[in-house]
Amino acid sequence: MFRRSTGDAPLRYLCGELDGTELAKSHLVKEFRQEFPLVIWFQCPCAKADQYSTAELLRMFVKSASTLNHPGGIVLVIGVFTTYDEKKYRILDLKKLANENGFKHLEDKNFIRECILYGYRHCKWDGTERIHGQHLQHHLSHIFIKEMGGSSRSGAGEE
C-alpha cells in the first residue's frame, strides 16, 4: 500500500496548516502537481465546540473538496473511531453528501496501521501527539474518491 521514501523523493506532510472548509483558497492545493491525485487526509476530525459540530465540519470539508477541479482527481481520507460514527461524525449523512457530489466511498481498517508502521505520528490541532495503539480496534478510514471526467475507480468495500 505504501512505499518508503528513497531519499530522492521525500514525503512531505503538514499538520494543521490547511483550512478544510475553504480548500480552494489554499496555496497548498493550488501548488499541488496536477497530474497526481490530490490526497487530503483528515485524521480524527474534531471541531472546536464554539464554532460548529464535528459533523458540520466534515460536511463543510466534503463540500469544499467537491468544488475543486483537480485534473488528477481528488481523494479524501477521513479517519474516525467507529464508536463515534453516527453520534459525532454522522457518517451516513456524510456518505450521502459525498455521493451526491461525485465521490465514491471505500472503507479501510488497515490504512492507519500501515501509516503507523511507516512512521506516522498523530498530531492534534493543538500540536500535541497521541498514539492510536489503544484505539486501533475501533478505527476506520473512510476514503472518498472523485476522478475528474466522470469515471470512478471501483474496488472492494465500495458502496
What residues have CB less than 8 Å from 107, skipping those under 6 apart? 140, 141, 142, 143, 157
Residue at 14 is within a domain: no
Residue at 36 is within a domain: yes
Cell numbers 460536511 correspond to what residue? Answer: 59
- pLDDT, tens digit (0-9, with 9 covering 90-100), for 27-43: 777 777 677 788 888 88
pLDDT at site 55: 92
Parallel, antiparallel or unpaired: strands 38-43 and 74-81: parallel
| pLDDT of 151 over the 50 cut | no
Residue at 6 is within a domain: no
The answer to whether the CB of 70 falls within 8 A of the CB of 38 is: yes
76: nearest Cα among 108, 51, 46: 108
Residue at 77 is within a domain: yes
pLDDT at site 28: 74
Give me the half-sphere count of Cα atoms (radius 13 Å) on the Cβ side of residue 98. Answer: 27
Treating both helix axes as pointing N-terminal to C-terminal, what angle do 54-66 and 91-100 enclose, rounded to 10 degrees?
10
Residue at 3 is within a domain: no
The residue segments making up the domain with residue 68 are 23-146
Please give the average per-residue pLDDT across 37-55, as a whole number: 84
Residue at 156 is within a domain: no
In total, how many domains does the chain have?
1
The answer to whether the CB of 49 falls within 8 A of the CB of 117 is: no
